[in-house]
A = this chain, B = another copy of it.
Amino acid sequence: MTTKSNSISDPRYSCAVGATNSVVAIRGAVPIANCSPGCQLKQTAFLTFENGFQGSVYAGAGNMPSANSTENDIVFGGIKTLDELVKSTLKIFKGDLYVVLTGCVGGLIGDDVPSLVRKYHEKGYPIVAVDTAGFKGNNLYGHEEVVDAIIDQFVGDYHGKKQKGLVNLWFETPYFNQNWRGDYQEIARILRGAGFNVNIPFGPENNGVKDWRRIPKAQFNLVLSPWVGVRNAEHLQEKYGQPFLHISEIPIGGEATSEFIRNVVKFAGIDKLQSEKFIREENRIYYYYLEHFSEFFAEYWYGMPSEFAIAADSAYTLAYTKFLADQIGLIPRKAIITDDPPQKFRAELERLFHDLTEGVDVQVEFEEDGYLIEKAIDGVKFSSGKPLILASSWELTIANKKKALFFEITPPSSESLIINRSFAGYKGALNLLEKIYSASVGGK
């Protein structure tokens, strides 16, 4: 049965309780996993290991406190186990923020986790509870839940003034979007260069809970993502009266990034002088490199791909397809979004794929089942030369079958190690070209 069913082969996301990793992305924060043994190792394996072997930090991965529920907890309730866990975590871990994430078991056996956590919260501990039962949604859903929970239960109300030029950056999902660390740095660099004061909730340039407390003061929220985070921005709008700018497409390359900057500057109404100067300087360097690259691109003798297929989450599928089709001139033959975006975002995504570049159009598909994704790619008759396939490790075998150039852009990813790599903005575009065309060249 190659038709759609509930079945999912070769999964491309994990479940809500994997949002422990969003907590790890906040400097000094400690996740407390209230779930079964195995839950966190599975989520972490997917998000931080089988995803460019990113690794984890601080209270993530092996250090993560976890209830590891037993049959006893199922039968008699797990609150006592959780209470012990919270207590010992507060005793043994240094945390500026503790987030209790409850998985399937807690939800199904009816433990009252919020009450327990409230007890500690009321004593003054910076602790927050979130329901992230795996059957409620995937890790992207869990990520959004965690953000709202921290805002509501930790950051709390704010009635002070807003600070002009201060922007909260809601961007890639930590650990899930495999280049998130480098991408946050590149987009932050760009926004700063354009004159903004950038508040970054996650990653290398996050300063911990201090930055979360700054969130309500920002002039506005920037959601740079097709859908993840829009819910949070709506919540912030309501809670703090903060407007938000939603940009679906991560800018890649000189043209898109300059346009991105101009859009954000326009929305914020800040002075253009600095941003235009920044654009000029960045373009000077970018096109210096692109002029060099264009020689290879025009003159390489031994073939390079002219068509590609892509299957990844909404954010990367859109951004890479756009850049490759519009700026580089690769022909998109198949684009599949695999992160199950909520229905209300799908029409806009479809539109964006219809408007990639002059005369190029691809009907984006939404599919999470790896079996059907493989079939869809297998069905493309690539016309000449080696095509390029950008997807996950699951597609290694179909890429071999198609004699394609292949690399991974989405979890699971086992063929590359990722540290500070970015394919976003000015610099990332050049990295992406290096990556694609390094795969094309040589006599290997």
Contact = CB atoms under 8 A, between A and B. Distances in A.
A132 to B, nearest CB: 23
Quickly give the copy total for this chain. Answer: 2
A293 B57 CA distance: 9
Contacts of A292: 54-57, 181, 419
14 contacts: A53-B295, A53-B437, A55-B291, A56-B295, A57-B292, A181-B289, A185-B285, A292-B419, A414-B443, A415-B442, A416-B442, A417-B440, A419-B433, A420-B434
A267 interface: no
Interface residues of A, number: 46
Given A55-B294, A56-B292, A295-B55, A417 B443 contact: no
Interface of A: 48-49, 53-58, 61, 181, 185, 204-205, 285, 288-289, 291-296, 299-300, 393, 396, 414-421, 427, 430-431, 433-434, 437-438, 440-444
B296 A53 contact: yes
Interface of A is mostly: helix
Given A55-B293, A419-B430, A421-B431, 6 more contacts: A56-B292, A393-B442, A396-B443, A396-B444, A417-B437, A419-B434
A201 B433 CA distance: 27
A296 B441 contact: no
A285 B55 contact: no
A429 B33 CA distance: 34
A440 B417 CA distance: 9
B420 A431 contact: yes
A185 B415 CA distance: 29
Contacts of A56: 292, 295
Given A55-B296, A57-B288, A417 B441 contact: yes
Contacts of A417: 293, 296, 433-434, 437-438, 440-441
Contacts of A431: 419-421
A437 B415 CA distance: 10
User: In this complex, which of A55, A293, A440, A442 has the most chain B Cβ atoms within 10 angstroms of its Cβ?
Assistant: A55
Nearest to A434: B419
Nearest to A440: B417
Query: What are the 5 closest A-B residue pairs judged by CB atoms, nearest first?
Result: A55-B295, A415-B442, A55-B292, A417-B437, A53-B296
Given A53-B300, A55-B295, A288-B204, A415 B427 contact: no
B204 A289 contact: yes
A44 B440 CA distance: 21
B54 A420 contact: no
B441 A418 contact: no
A414 B441 contact: yes
A396 B414 CA distance: 24
Contacts of A204: 285, 288-289
